[in-house]
Amino acid sequence: MLMDTSIFPIMDDVDSIFADDVELIRNADVLEEDYTPDEILCRDDVLQQYTSVFKPIYKGRPPQNAFLYGDTGVGKTAATKYLRENLERDIERKNEQLPENEQITLNVVWINCENFTTGDHKTSSYQVAVGIVNRLRDKGNRITGTGYAPQDVYDIMYEELDDLEGTVLVILDEVDKIGNDDTLLYELPRSRDIGYVENVRVGVIGISNDYTFRKNLSPKVKDSLCETEIKFPAYNATELSDILSARAKLALYEGAYTEETISLCSALAYQEASGSARRAIRLLRRSAEIAEENGSEQVEESHIRQADKDLEYGNIVESIVDQDDEKLYILKALAHLDKAGLTPARTRTIHAAYSRVVHSYNTTTGKDPLTQRGMFNHLSKLVMFGFVNTIDHNKGVGGGQWNEHEFSDDVNPQKVKDAFEDRNLEWLDVDVRGIKE
Ligand X SMILES: Nc1ncnc2c1ncn2[C@@H]1O[C@H](COP(=O)(O)OP(=O)(O)OP(=O)(O)O)[C@@H](O)[C@H]1O
CA distances 242 to 34, 60, 129, 210, 247, Å, are 19, 36, 39, 26, 9
Q: What's the CA gap between 217 and 69, in Å, rounded?
A: 13
Nearest CB to ligand X, comparing residues 278 and 339: 278
Euclidean distance between CA atoms 357 and 417, whole angstroms: 13
The one among 64, 77, 208, 261 contacting Mg ion by CB under 5 A: 77
Taking the least distance from each CB to ligand X, the nearer of 170 and 248 is: 248
Q: Rounded CA gap, 366 and 202, in Å?
A: 45
Comparing C-alpha atoms, which of 245, 205, 228, 264 is closest to residue 42? 245
Strands (E), 190-288: 201-208, 228-231
Judged by CB, which is closer to Mg ion: 80, or 125? 80
- Residue 433 is assigned to a ligand binding site: no
Please check if 74 is assigned to a binding site: yes
Task: State the minimum distance, in angstroms, from the CB of residue 61 to ligand X.
Answer: 27
**Cα distances (angstroms) measured from residue 11 to each of 43, 252, 254:** 42, 19, 19
Give the side-chain half-sphere CA count within 13 A for 428: 14
Q: Is 75 annotated as a binding residue?
A: yes
Q: Tell me if 349 contacts Mg ion by CB under 5 A.
A: no
Residue 133 interacting entry, from Mg ion, ligand X, none, C-beta within 5 to 8 Å by type: none
Q: With respect to Mg ion, which residue has the nearer C-beta, 81 or 351?
A: 81
Shortest separation between residue 244's beta carbon and ligand X, angstroms: 9
The answer to whether 10 and 22 are in contact (CB under 8 A) is yes
Footprint of ligand X on this chain (CB under 6 A)?
33, 37, 40-43, 70, 72-78, 209, 243, 277-278, 281
Pick 117 or 408: Cβ nearer Mg ion = 117
* Shortest CB 170 distance to ligand X, Å: 17
In the complex with ligand X, the residue whose CB is nearer, 284 or 337, is 284
Q: Which residue is nearest to ligand X (CB)?
A: 75
Whole-angstrom Cα distance, residue 252 to residue 303?
15
Q: How far is the CB of 243 from ligand X (least distance, A)?
A: 5
Give the one entry of ligand X, Mg ion, none that residue 277 binds, where binding means its C-beta sits below a cut-off of 5 to 8 angstroms depending on kind: ligand X
Q: Residue 76 CB, nearest distance to Mg ion (Å)?
A: 5
| 131 binding partner (options ligand X, Mg ion, none; Cβ < 5 to 8 Å by kind) | none
* CA-derived radius of gyration, the chain: 26
Q: Tell me the C-alpha distance between 261 and 185, whole Å.
A: 43
Where is the binding site for ATP, in residues?
74-78, 235, 247
Where is the binding site, in residues?
74-78, 235, 247
Binding residues for Mg ion, rule: CB under 5 A, are 77
